């Protein structure tokens, strides 16, 4: 009886170890900018820190001091807008408190025409934050969402940690100077990547001009233009520009986040501690570098193989994996971003098991010469799963009530557990038994 219990304990320990190791592998999947042989040479930039990330994959195409802690100035407002969108509706009414109106310096950016007790909708506020970079509006939104500025700042820091930002600490919702208010180009790219998943944020970020109509608080319409000069009618127009956020303080210098879409790729460029002109010339050079030297390759374009294919026929090395797991497949809508001359024969894949929902078992992490270039979700092959289900005797048990529906993941999990159990039993019984010493007890 003890031996039986001991076997169960061993199996449980092994499963825990496997889960811990898988977690470590997933955490190690965060891309680092140590570019491999064959990676395109990037341009020299004036900025103290810069990065280019492909938004869909999170692949880093270029970096310069991207983990250096610097003052962000008003690009902070990307996080403020993201949290507001996640925690409110656009038609909510935001009331401006005394602190929201009067704690902002006379020379700081404001919406204008705002007095204590005035109200705006959340939608109007968010356009004021992103386009006019209004510090008074940022304060009011922070109070509305968090209950107080300090509680909203706590929310900002919690969200930053959740997104994987390891070198970020916020002290306010606007980016006004504070020694303890800092971030990095890499962390800002992570925050921007998350914000771009929200279609309302994307719409706001690329709006040229937004007008707040006259109301009981302000008799004149307030039109506010986007400050980003890479818009189509800006000083440095860029073909493919889809939005961004500007920033400046004396201590931070010029900071700039830019989004652009071209060649079926979405790039995020972050510039920190630059000059007024350099922020735009650097951004243009980096976006051109990204679009001209890299290409998107959908996983549907690769010969990902089937259960019947040999691994030699599969350039991504998935043949053996698919052969052993015929119920699983790679989501064909996912893609990777690689240097232009590269092909599938230069790409390697690693399976990271992590059940996220009823249809996703984990992911395939793709690398080019060891460098992260994208991820493909490992999903349930429903057709094969139900064929397998139909061929089992279990489906006959409820024949009077219809076909019994079995969750295919139960089958996969059972198979994995069975293999682990067999290995454990072999290891236990292969060990030679030691003779017990001492006198036998008589009963």
From 145-149, 240-244, 298-302, the region with the lowest mean pLDDT: 298-302
188 with 290, same domain? yes
102 with 251, same domain? yes
For residue 397, tell me if it sits in a domain.
yes
More confident residue, 316 or 369: 369
**CA-derived radius of gyration, the chain:** 28
What CATH number did the domain enclosing 67 receive? Answer: 3.40.710.10
Question: Is-catalytic flag, 12?
Answer: no
For residue 219, tell me if it sits in a domain.
yes
For residue 318, tell me if it sits in a domain.
no
From 66-75, 143-152, 380-389, the region with the lowest mean pLDDT: 380-389
Residue at a domain's end among 276, 296, 316: 296
For residue 92, tell me if it sits in a domain.
yes
Question: Is-catalytic flag, 387?
Answer: no
Residue-range definition of the domain harbouring residue 164: 49-296
For residue 439, tell me if it sits in a domain.
no
Question: Is-catalytic flag, 74?
Answer: yes
pLDDT digits (tens, 9 = 90+) for 222-242: 999 999 999 999 999 999 999
Residue at a domain's end among 278, 296, 314: 296
Dihedral-angle region of residue 232 (phi above 0 means left; psi in -120 to 50 means alpha; beta otherwise):
alpha
Q: Report the SS3 class of residue 59.
A: coil
The one catalytic residue in 49, 64, 66, 133 is: 133
For residue 111, tell me if it sits in a domain.
yes
For residue 61, tell me if it sits in a domain.
yes
106 with 233, same domain? yes
The one catalytic residue in 64, 77, 231, 284 is: 77
For residue 323, tell me if it sits in a domain.
no
The one catalytic residue in 49, 64, 66, 74 is: 74
**Helix, strand, coil % in the chain, rounded to nearest 5:** 40, 20, 40
Number of domains in the chain: 2
3-state SS track over 311-367: HHHCCCCCHHHHHHCCCEEECCCCEEEEECCCCHHHEEEEEEECCCCCCEEEEEEEE
pLDDT digits (tens, 9 = 90+) for 339-353: 999 888 899 988 887
Residue at a domain's end among 296, 325, 349: 296
């Amino acid at each position: 009886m003890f031996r039986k219990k001991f076997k169960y304990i061993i199996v449980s320990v092994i499963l825990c170890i496997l889960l811990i190791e898988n977690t470590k592998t997933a955490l190690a999947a965060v891309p680092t900018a140590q570019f491999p042989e064959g990676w395109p040479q990037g341009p020299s930039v004036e900025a103290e820190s810069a990065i280019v990330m492909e938004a869909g994959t999170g692949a880093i195409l270029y970096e310069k001091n991207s983990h250096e802690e610097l003052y962000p100035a008003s690009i902070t407002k990307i996080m403020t807008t993201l949290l507001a969108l996640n925690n409110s509706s656009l038609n909510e009414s935001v009331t401006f408190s005394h602190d929201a109106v009067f704690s902002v310096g006379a020379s700081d950016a404001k919406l204008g025409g705002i007095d204590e007790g005035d109200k705006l909708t959340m939608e109007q506020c968010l356009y004021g934050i992103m386009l006019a970079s209004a510090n008074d509006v940022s304060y009011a939104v922070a109070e509305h969402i968090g209950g107080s500025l300090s509680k909203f700042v706590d929310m900002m820091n919690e969200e930053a940690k959740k997104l994987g930002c390891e070198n970020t600490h916020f002290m306010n919702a606007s980016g006004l100077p504070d020694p303890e208010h800092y971030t990095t180009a890499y962390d800002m790219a992570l925050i921007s990547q998350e914000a771009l998943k929200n279609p309302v944020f994307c719409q706001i970020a690329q709006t040229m001009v937004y007008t707040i109509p006259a109301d009981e608080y302000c008799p004149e319409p307030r039109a506010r233009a986007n400050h980003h000069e890479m818009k189509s009618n800006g000083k440095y127009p860029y073909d493919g520009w889809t939005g961004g956020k500007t920033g400046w303080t004396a201590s931070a210098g010029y900071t700039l986040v830019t989004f652009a879409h071209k060649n079926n790729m979405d790039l995020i460029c972050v510039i920190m501690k630059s000059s007024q002109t350099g922020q735009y010339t650097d951004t243009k050079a980096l976006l051109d570098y990204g679009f001209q030297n890299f290409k998107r390759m959908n996983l549907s374009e690769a010969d990902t193989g089937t259960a019947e294919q040999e691994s030699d026929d599969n350039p991504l090395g998935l043949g053996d994996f698919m052969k052993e797991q015929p119920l699983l497949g790679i989501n064909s809508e996912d893609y990777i971003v690689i240097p232009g001359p590269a092909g599938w024969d230069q790409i390697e894949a690693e399976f990271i098991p992590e059940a996220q929902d009823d249809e996703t078992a984990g992911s395939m992490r793709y690398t080019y010469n060891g460098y992260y270039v994208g991820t493909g979700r490992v999903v349930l092959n429903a057709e094969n799963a139900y064929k397998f289900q139909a061929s089992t005797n279990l489906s006959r048990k409820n024949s009077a009530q219809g076909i019994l529906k079995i969750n295919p993941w139960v089958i996969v999990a059972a198979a994995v557990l069975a293999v682990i159990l067999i290995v454990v039993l072999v290891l236990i019984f292969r060990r030679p038994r030691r003779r017990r010493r001492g006198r036998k007890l008589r009963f």
